[in-house]
């Protein structure tokens, strides 16, 4: 069994057939991340429709902070926190134009919610790996995953030493920096994901693409794919406190 720990299911139509496809290849659960007020509302509805298979995470993505709904989004996250297995997608992205001070301010607010409610964070940290880690660590977050990690080795070591996770995507088939991170992270600190519907090598991903992630990790680590699946699924169950049900 596999778990896709980071999927943008709000971006799919014909979602039932997409999830049926995932079930058929052994995907036992999907963590559906939100990024704004609008997407969080959609994710909550999807989680309600596909209970015990899709688990919502409510987020405030650094790309979505210029809209007027930020305050409304924080209100929603607090009101619906009991429906969420995590707070995500959240974080920092210093490769985009969104004001860095605003990004940091919003990220610190979601970190406070993580600490207050004991929810793990699903963190976007592109171009701001060290800054994101320092905020999470200094504010006392106990549980977090740095999604699709491609950052420096020294920050990766600090992430792992702090007991946090990193996640692998299908980009582990070809992305040099991502491959290096997957290679260095022990299976006990690794999760699998798709970040779907991201396009990898010209192909639009969906939750079933987590099979490709598992195969890539298996190849990088020279470890049987069944062992990769078993250990990373155990990690997902532990981090997100989800129950897996027969396919």
Q: Quickly state the pLDDT bin for 66 (edges 50, 70, 90).
A: low
Mean pLDDT of all residues in 11-36: 98
- The answer to whether residue 68 scores a pLDDT higher than 70 is no
Q: Quickly state the pLDDT bin for 137 (edges 50, 70, 90).
A: very high
Q: What is the CA radius of gyration of the chain?
A: 16
Contacts for 59 with CB less than 8 Å, ≥ 6 apart: 33, 34, 35, 36, 39, 40, 87, 88, 89, 90, 110, 122
- The answer to whether residue 204 scores a pLDDT higher than 60 is yes
Class of residue 68 by CB neighbours under 10 A (exposed 0-12, middle 13-18, buried 19+)? exposed
Instruction: Specify the pLDDT at position 67.
Output: 63
Average pLDDT, the chain: 96
Q: Percentage of the chain surpassing pLDDT 70? A: 98
Instruction: Specify the pLDDT at position 245.
Output: 76
Which CATH code for domain 2-240? 3.20.20.140
Helix segments in the chain, DSSP class H: 15-24, 37-49, 70-79, 100-117, 129-138, 153-161, 176-184, 210-221, 225-240
pTM > 0.75: yes
- The answer to whether residue 247 scores a pLDDT higher than 60 is no
Contact between 35 and 58 (Cβ < 8 Å): no
Query: Domain ranges in the chain?
Result: 2-240
Q: pLDDT, tens digit, for every residue of 84-132?
A: 999 999 999 999 888 999 999 999 999 999 999 999 999 999 999 999 9
Mean pLDDT of all residues in 25-51: 98
Instruction: Specify the pLDDT at position 97.
Output: 82
């Amino acid at each position: 069994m596999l778990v896709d720990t980071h999927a943008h299911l709000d971006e799919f139509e014909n979602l039932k057939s997409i999830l049926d496809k995932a079930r058929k290849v052994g995907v036992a659960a999907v963590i559906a991340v939100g990024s704004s007020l609008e997407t969080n509302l959609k994710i909550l509805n999807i989680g309600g429709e596909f209970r015990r298979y899709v688990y919502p995470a409510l987020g405030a993505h650094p790309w979505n902070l210029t809209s007027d709904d930020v305050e409304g989004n924080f209100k929603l996250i607090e009101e619906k926190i009991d429906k969420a297995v995590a707070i995500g997608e959240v974080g920092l992205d210093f490769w985009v134009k969104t004001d860095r001070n605003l990004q940091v301010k919003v990220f610190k607010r979601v970190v406070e919610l993580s600490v207050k409610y004991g929810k793990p964070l699903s963190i976007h940290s592109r171009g701001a790996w060290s800054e994101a880690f320092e905020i999470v660590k200094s504010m006392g977050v106990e549980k977090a995953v740095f999604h699709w990690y491609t950052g420096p080795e020294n920050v990766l070591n600090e992430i792992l030493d702090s007991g946090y996770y990193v996640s692998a995507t299908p980009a582990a088939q070809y992305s040099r920096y991502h491959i290096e991170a997957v290679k260095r992270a022990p299976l006990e600190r690794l999760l699998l994901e798709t970040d779907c519907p991201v396009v990898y090598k010209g192909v639009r991903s969906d939750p079933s693409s987590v099979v490709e992630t598992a195969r890539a990790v298996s190849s990088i680590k020279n470890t049987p794919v069944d062992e990769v699946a078993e250990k990373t699924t155990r990690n997902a169950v532990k981090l997100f406190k989800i129950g897996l049900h027969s396919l």
